[in-house]
Amino acid sequence: MEQFFSEIAASFERTFITDDRWLQLLAGLGVTVEITLLAAVIGVVLGFLIAIVRSTHDMQLMGRKCSKPSDYLLKVLNVICNIYITVIRGTPVVIQLMIIYYVVFASLREGIIAAIIAFGLNSAAYVAEIVRSGIMSIDKGQFEASRSLGFDYKSTMIHVVIPQAFKNILPALGNEFIVLVKETSVAGYVALKDLTYVGNLIRSRTYEAFFPLITIAIIYLIIVLILTFFLKKLERRLRNSDH
Amino acid sequence: MKKKIISGLLALSMLCTAAVSLTACNSSSDSSSSQPSASSTEAKVKSIDDLAGAKIGVQLGTTGDIYASDYEKEGSTIERYNKGADAVLALTQGKIDCVIIDNEPAKAFVAANQGLKILDEPFAEEEYAICVAKNNTELRDNINKALKELREDGTIDKIINNYIGDDTKGKTPYETPEGTDTSKGELHMATNATFEPYEYQEGGKVVGIDAMIAQAICDKLGYKLVIDDMDFDAIITAVQSGKADFGMAGMTVNEERKQSINFTDTYTKAKQVIIVNG
């Protein structure tokens, strides 16, 4: 029994204390958080733009003939967005990451930029469809009422449709962020020192699977728990503003 | 009217982003095609002394990784890839300054990629051995006995010559003798088949020096050889946990590894070298 505990203690020491490995884990956590946050920003901004193009197209041109030049433009943009979503959702993120790192930005020395762009572009495709579903879920009557009160299309979108849509899509959006956090675990493929990578590094030095893997799993879980906590808080606050 | 302006604006902004990203793609691919020549004129690493402060590529968990990690204290950045080939690809694109890897795979990589060269001075000398789980001393002793016989009758030299050396390549392969008995069952070998000429994929099979020596050992011991291909840093764990009986992957004997597994006698010598653009 005593031997068992001393073995555990030795294994713990090898995993965390030797070579300041806990500092490496911390650094890995930093990289994971950095990639996730910046990718989420790209994903949300690009995702909203794509969703607005797609839903504007669906609401204004679906089943109608193009009558003015801007209609044709919108149609072309819609096709581009559609292709983008199809390609991004239809290919694995690790392949996209390697394409961005080895093909698109072949001369780029900073892998982290490639990772942020890859995960951001990937997330944007999913966010776009989530936001579009939110916009389309708002009753047409809201549009008509707003327009009849003298709001133009843009103000209707900003002041009437998007706020209501946002409340509807928040759970799905939260889902997407949680997936994003965990997806960044493949960043090690392009030699980035993210959390999973540090876990593998420690494993390759100590040849022990238990502590590194369990630790990494717990850290991811904690990140997701924190994220969920704030999302719930936001959701509650938005619901309270309902009357 | 306003609607038209808004959608027009939106359209314009999307077109702009598309155009910008397109030109970004172009410029980056342009610079990538000019990259090799640019980096070859200003190769950063010319000898071992230049490793301090350089961006060094390695394969995660290899001895090259372990040795190179000592340079982290001297300001070097170590980029650890899952595969040696990925590190070499990153080197050809100028993402890193050099790759530290075993000599024989290095030769294969340099032969396959124009504009790369191996520095003359070796980075480190080392010896390869087979790893076996600590509690399986019986298998270790049996392998040692087989290795000794194979070394004495010249089989191991023949196998190595079959893969290394321009004159002897492909001339002295090992063939399983007729009527070899495999009645004792299967022996699983854990390896990472991205390490020419020691182990690599050819026609959907893992071949190479290690695979051939392993076959010879299994024939001697009366087992059927089964090769499991996995990531290099997973091999020791696989052997430790009994998912594989032994690990053979150009694995260097070192103290850190000895704490987790047992090594057999060494079967060949090798060295770590530095690949650079040049």
Which residues of chain B have a pLDDT value below 50?
1-2, 16, 19-41
Q: What are A30's two structure tokens?
A: 């930093």
CA distance A49 to A238: 23
CB contact under 8 A, B7 and A49: no
Q: Are strands B55-59 and B98-102 parallel, antiparallel or unpaired?
A: parallel
H or E stretch including B202? Answer: strand B199-202
CB contact under 8 A, B13 and A49: yes
CA distance A116 to A44: 13
Point out the residue among B4, B35, B61 whose CB comes nearest to the CB of A70. B4
CB contact under 8 A, A207 and B240: yes
Residues A153-168: what's their mean pLDDT? 90
How high is the mean pLDDT of chain A?
90
Report helix, strand or coil for A31.
Answer: helix
A222 pLDDT band, cuts 50/70/90, is very high
Contact residues, chain B, for A188 at CB < 8 Å: 60, 82
Residue A186 burial (10 A CB sphere; 0-12, 13-18, 19+): buried
> Maximum Cα–Cα distance for chain A, whole Å?
83
Q: Greater confidence, A221 or A12? A: A221
Structural domain span for residue B223: 127-269
pLDDT at B180: 83
CB atoms near residue B175 (< 10 Å): 9
* Residue A190 distance to chain B (closest CA, Å): 7
The total of structural domains in chain B comes to 1
Residues A23-28: what's their mean pLDDT? 92
CB atoms near residue B7 (< 10 Å): 24
Identify whether the C-beta of residue A200 lies closer than 8 Å to the C-beta of residue B60: yes
Residue B160 placed within a domain: yes
CB contact under 8 A, A56 and B7: yes
pLDDT tens track for B199-234:
998 888 899 999 999 999 999 999 999 999 988 888
pLDDT at A13: 87
pLDDT tens track for A68-84:
888 889 999 999 999 99
Residue B18 placed within a domain: no
Q: Greater confidence, A218 or A6? A: A218
What is the complex's ipTM, to 2 decimals? 0.71
Report helix, strand or coil for B173.
Answer: coil
Q: Greater confidence, B36 or A85? A: A85
CA distance B215 to B223: 9
Q: What are B50's two structure tokens?
A: 């230049």
Residue A100 has pLDDT above 50, yes or no: yes
CB contact under 8 A, B79 and A201: no
CB contact B22 to A (< 8 Å): no
Q: Greater confidence, A197 or A205? A: A197
CB contact B8 to A (< 8 Å): yes
Q: Which has the minimum average pLDDT: A193-197, A201-205, B73-77, B173-177?
A: A201-205
Residue B159 placed within a domain: yes
pLDDT at A208: 79
Contacts of A90 (CB under 8 A, 6+ apart): none
CB contact under 8 A, B260 and A102: no
CB atoms near residue B211 (< 10 Å): 23
Query: How many angstroms separate the first and last alpha carbons of chain A?
Result: 62
Q: What is the pTM for the complete model shown?
A: 0.74
Residue B102 placed within a domain: no
CB atoms near residue B215 (< 10 Å): 20
Vertex A62: Cα angle to A160 and A56 (nearest 5): 30
Strand partners of residue B224: B186
Q: What are the DSSP calls for B61-97, one per residue?
A: TSHHHHHHHGGGGGTPEEEEESSHHHHHHHHHTTSSS
Residue B55 placed within a domain: no
* Residue A165 distance to chain B (closest CA, Å): 20
CATH number of the domain that residue B201 is part of: 3.40.190.10
pLDDT at A205: 78
Point out the residue among B17, B95, B233 whose CB comes nearest to the CB of A200. B233
Residues A31-53: what's their mean pLDDT? 96
Residue A17 has pLDDT above 90, yes or no: no
CB contact B88 to A (< 8 Å): no
Residues A107-124: what's their mean pLDDT? 91
- What separation in angstroms does the CA of B34 have from each of A19, A29, B40? 40, 36, 10
Q: What are phi and psi of B49, to 5 degrees?
A: -60, -25
Residue B194 placed within a domain: yes
Q: What is the DSSP letter of B166?
A: T
Residue B111 placed within a domain: no
**Looking at chain A, how many residues does it have?**
243
Q: What are B216's two structure tokens?
A: 């010879």
A243 pLDDT band, cuts 50/70/90, is low
Q: What is the CATH number of domain A2-240?
A: 1.10.3720.10
